[in-house]
């Protein structure tokens, strides 16, 4: 589940150093607790700015805290931000990330001279998200939230911290089939987890008609998995991926099995690391067994190195992906053959 989290000081204006006051503490603490709750639910938050006037770094801190509390778990967080390749400049910096928190950086092209470059990046992030979650915020939050709520994109606006989110709440409230959980002036983990559960229910009620992919890969091949995911999402495809290590001798988690069952195409990024993994071959075998009943429609091996796949998989669709150029060609060919 990919949740795009957006928000800031109420009436925030980028580039204007508004004072951070004690009255803003509940908003930022809500960000930390939501970050922890999103990580606990194995969601991937999509954020952008490292400015302390936005909610983003506090979401990141919540993820980092969860990962330190659970050193045997692996989590992903995605940073999407605007870049001008002819005039490179800003790149958000998030430091002190624990080793089990994987940061995925996605660059969205936007002219550096444009005052709307962040909006361009935000719309790119929204396109690939399952839910938009808003807290506080100024003009950008109002624009994106209003667009999402008016175009049937699952939008959860938390109104209790004011700002544009309170306005977007009025637009989106007809989509809420029950009362929105409150975070309060002293946000807690339990309250944040109720909000995250509400957000995932919103996403579950939305219908998807585009082709979906499940990425199976070794933790050591994260960079290749990141690249494949970005390619697929830019081409408008839904992507599921295993973001948690499955321990040897344990069955696949039900949430992981459900994601494999929901995908139209199962893609295994085959490599020496994949073959040596305690859990990746189990995902592949599970997908092969499912395919006998017709879902997923395709099981594909993309070979990242010279490691030879098992003999019984030689009849599967296979492609070489030992370089980024080959990966690009491979993904485009997969899309053409949907």
Together in a domain, 91 and 174: yes
List, for residues 160-196, the tens digit of each pLDDT value: 999 999 999 999 998 898 899 999 999 999 999 999 9
Question: Last residue of a domain, which of 205, 232, 256?
Answer: 205
| Interacting residues of 138 by C-beta distance below 8 A, sequence separation 6+ | 8, 9, 10, 11, 12, 13, 163, 164
Q: CATH number, domain at 307?
A: 3.40.50.10140
How far are the Cα atoms of 44, 76, 105, 150, 195 from residue 225, in angstroms, in the given order? Answer: 15, 12, 13, 33, 29
Higher pLDDT, 236 or 50: 50
Task: Report CA 124 to chain centroid distance, whole Å.
Answer: 13
| Boundaries of domain holding 283 | 212-336
Question: Last residue of a domain, which of 172, 205, 238?
Answer: 205
Portion of the chain with pLDDT greater than 70, in percent: 92
Ranges of beta strands (E only) in 182-223 are: 212-216
Together in a domain, 176 and 222: no
List, for residues 199-230, the tens digit of each pLDDT value: 999 988 765 567 899 999 998 999 999 999 99
Sign of CA dihedral 158, 162, 163, 164: positive
**Token duo for residue 331:** 């993904």
Question: Last residue of a domain, which of 205, 232, 250?
Answer: 205
Together in a domain, 183 and 298: no
Query: Average pLDDT of 108-130?
Result: 87
pLDDT band at 257, cuts 50/70/90?
confident
- Residue 123's pLDDT is 94
- Residue 247's pLDDT is 43
Q: CATH number, domain at 38?
A: 3.40.50.450
Q: Does residue 34 sit in helix, strand or coil?
A: helix
Among 67, 144, 130, smallest CA distance to 101 is for: 67
Together in a domain, 194 and 63: yes
Q: Residue 80 pLDDT more than 90?
A: yes
- Residue 29's pLDDT is 98
């Amino acid at each position: 589940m990919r949740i795009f989290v957006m928000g800031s000081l109420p009436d925030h204006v980028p580039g204007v150093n508004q004072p951070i006051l004690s009255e803003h503490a509940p908003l930022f603490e809500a960000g930390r607790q939501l970050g922890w709750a999103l990580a606990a639910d194995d969601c991937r938050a999509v954020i952008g700015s490292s400015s302390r006037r936005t909610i983003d770094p506090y979401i990141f801190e919540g993820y980092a805290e969860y990962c330190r509390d659970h050193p045997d778990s692996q989590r992903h967080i995605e940073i999407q931000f605007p870049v001008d390749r002819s005039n490179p400049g800003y790149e958000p910096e998030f430091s002190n990330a624990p080793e089990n928190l994987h940061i995925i950086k996605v660059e969205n092209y936007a002219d550096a001279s444009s005052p709307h470059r962040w909006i361009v990046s935000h719309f790119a992030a929204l396109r690939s998200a399952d839910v938009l979650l808003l807290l506080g915020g100024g003009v950008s939050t109002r624009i994106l939230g209003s667009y999402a709520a008016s175009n049937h994109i699952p939008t959860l606006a938390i109104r209790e911290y004011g700002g544009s989110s309170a306005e977007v709440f009025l637009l989106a409230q007809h989509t809420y089939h029950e009362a929105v959980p409150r975070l309060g002036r002293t946000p807690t983990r339990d309250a944040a987890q109720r909000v995250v559960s509400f957000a995932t229910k919103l996403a579950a009620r939305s219908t998807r008609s585009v082709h979906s992919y499940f990425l199976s890969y070794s933790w050591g091949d994260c960079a290749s998995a990141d690249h494949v995911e970005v390619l697929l999402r830019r081409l408008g495809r839904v992507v599921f991926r295993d973001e948690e290590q499955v321990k040897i001798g344990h069955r696949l988690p039900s949430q992981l099995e459900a994601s494999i069952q929901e995908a139209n195409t199962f893609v295994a990024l085959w490599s020496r690391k994949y073959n040596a993994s305690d859990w990746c071959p189990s995902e592949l075998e599970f997908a092969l067994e499912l395919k006998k009943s017709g879902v997923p429609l395709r099981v594909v091996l993309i070979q990242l190195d010279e490691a030879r796949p098992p003999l019984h998989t030689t009849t599967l669709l296979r492609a070489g992906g030992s370089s980024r150029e080959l990966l690009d060609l491979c993904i485009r060919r997969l899309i053409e053959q949907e």
